[in-house]
Amino acid sequence: MRAVVTGGSGFLGSHLCERLVARGDEVVALDNFVTGTPANVAHLADEPGFDLVEVDVTRDVTVAGDVDLVLHLASPASPVDYLQLPIETLEVGSIGTMHALALAREKGARFVLASTSEVYGDPAVHPQPESYWGHVNPVGPRGVYDEAKRFAEALTLAHRSTHGVDTGIVRIFNTFGPRMRPDDGRAIPNFIRQALAGQPVTVAGDGSQTRSICYVDDLITGILAMADSEHAGPVNIGNPHELSMTELAEWIIELTGSTSTIRHIARPVDDPTVRQPDTALARELLGWEPQVEIEDALRRTIDWFRSEAQGPRLRARPLSASDTEHILAGH
- The CATH superfamily of 2-176+214-239+273-290+316-328 is NAD(P)-binding Rossmann-like Domain (3.40.50.720)
The percentage of the chain sitting over the pLDDT mark of 90, rounded to a whole number, equals 90
Query: Of 82, 120, 132, 145, which one is the catalytic site residue?
Result: 145
Confidence of residue 309 (pLDDT cuts 50, 70, 90): confident
> With 80 as the cut, is the pLDDT of residue 68 above it?
yes
Tell me, what's the pLDDT at 323?
35
Say which residues have a Cβ less than 8 Å from residue 22's Cβ, sequence separation at least 6.
none
C-alpha angle with apex 146: 127 to 88, nearest 5 degrees?
A: 150
Instruction: Say what the alpha-carbon torsion angle 35, 324, 177, 30 is, to the nearest 10 degrees.
Output: 60
Do residues 51 and 331 make contact, with C-beta atoms less than 8 angstroms apart? yes
Tell me, what's the pLDDT at 143?
95
Mean pLDDT (the chain) is: 93
> With 50 as the cut, is the pLDDT of residue 329 above it?
no
The mean pLDDT value for 103-118 works out to: 98
The mean pLDDT value for 230-244 works out to: 97
3-state class (DSSP) for residue 180: coil
Domain segments of the chain: what residues? 2-176+214-239+273-290+316-328
Burial class (CB in 10 A: 0-12, 13-18, 19+), 16: buried
Do residues 29 and 318 make contact, with C-beta atoms less than 8 angstroms apart? no
The mean pLDDT value for 313-326 works out to: 36
Cα-Cα-Cα-Cα dihedral sign, residues 52, 187, 214, 121 = negative
The mean pLDDT value for 213-222 works out to: 98
Q: Chain-centre distance of CA 81, in angstroms?
A: 13
The mean pLDDT value for 220-231 works out to: 98
Q: Rounded to an integer, what distance in angstroms lies between the CA atom of residue 131 and that of residue 113?
A: 18
CA-closest candidate to residue 239, choices 248, 250, 252: 248
CA-closest candidate to residue 74, choices 83, 122, 59: 59
> With 70 as the cut, is the pLDDT of residue 331 above it?
no
Tell me, what's the pLDDT at 311?
63
145 in active site: yes
Tell me, what's the pLDDT at 325?
37
Confidence of residue 126 (pLDDT cuts 50, 70, 90): very high
Confidence of residue 316 (pLDDT cuts 50, 70, 90): very low
Q: Rounded to an integer, what distance in angstroms lies between the CA atom of residue 83 and that of residue 175?
A: 19
Tell me, what's the pLDDT at 310?
77
Q: Rounded to an integer, what distance in angstroms lies between the CA atom of residue 67 and that of residue 74?
A: 18
